[in-house]
């Protein structure tokens, strides 16, 4: 499924609040990277969020989420959020903030 450009635009508006964000095409979508680490992205119509291994269970307990798995091997600390999970702008902001909060704790690459 091609990347949903309107979702990417919504994410861009929010990630522009963070400094040093780089946008990169990857896995058939777009990743938003800070300090060399991806914080969030869009794949098809889903939001991809790097929540970290310790926050995965709590994130997956929220509605409209599932494990991020593109190759048959789930990526620890990453989740997919279906569009209904971020239809509200505040929900989108909260997911993006969670992704950046975790990613900014990682060493730069």
pLDDT band at 13 (very low <50, low <70, confident <90, very high): very high
> Where exactly are the structural domains of the chain?
5-103
Residues, the chain: 109
Alpha carbon distance 103, 11 (integer Å): 16
Residue identified by tokens 């635009």 is 9
Give yes or no for residue 105 having a pLDDT over 80: yes
Give yes or no for residue 41 having a pLDDT over 90: yes
Q: Are 78 and 31 in contact (CB under 8 A)?
A: no
Task: Answer left, alpha or beta for residue 81, where phi above 0 means left and psi between -120 and 50 means alpha.
Answer: beta
pLDDT, residue 70, reads 79
Q: Are 30 and 8 in contact (CB under 8 A)?
A: yes
- 48-75 pLDDT per residue, tens: 999 999 999 999 999 999 999 878 888 8
50-72 in b/e form (b: 16+ CB < 10 A) is bbbeebbeebeeeeebeebeeee
Domain with residues 5-103, CATH architecture: Alpha-Beta Complex (3.90)
């Amino acid at each position: 499924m091609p990347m949903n450009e309107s979702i990417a635009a919504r994410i861009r508006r929010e990630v522009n609040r963070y400094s040093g964000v780089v946008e990169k095409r990857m896995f058939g979508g777009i990743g938003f990277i800070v300090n060399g680490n991806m914080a969030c992205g869009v794949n098809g119509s889903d939001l991809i969020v790097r929540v970290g291994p310790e926050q995965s269970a709590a994130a997956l307990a929220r509605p409209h989420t599932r494990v991020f798995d593109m190759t048959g091997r789930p990526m620890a600390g990453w989740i997919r959020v279906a569009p209904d999970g971020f239809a509200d702008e505040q929900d989108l902001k909260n997911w993006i903030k969670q992704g950046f909060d975790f990613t900014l704790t990682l060493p730069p690459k």
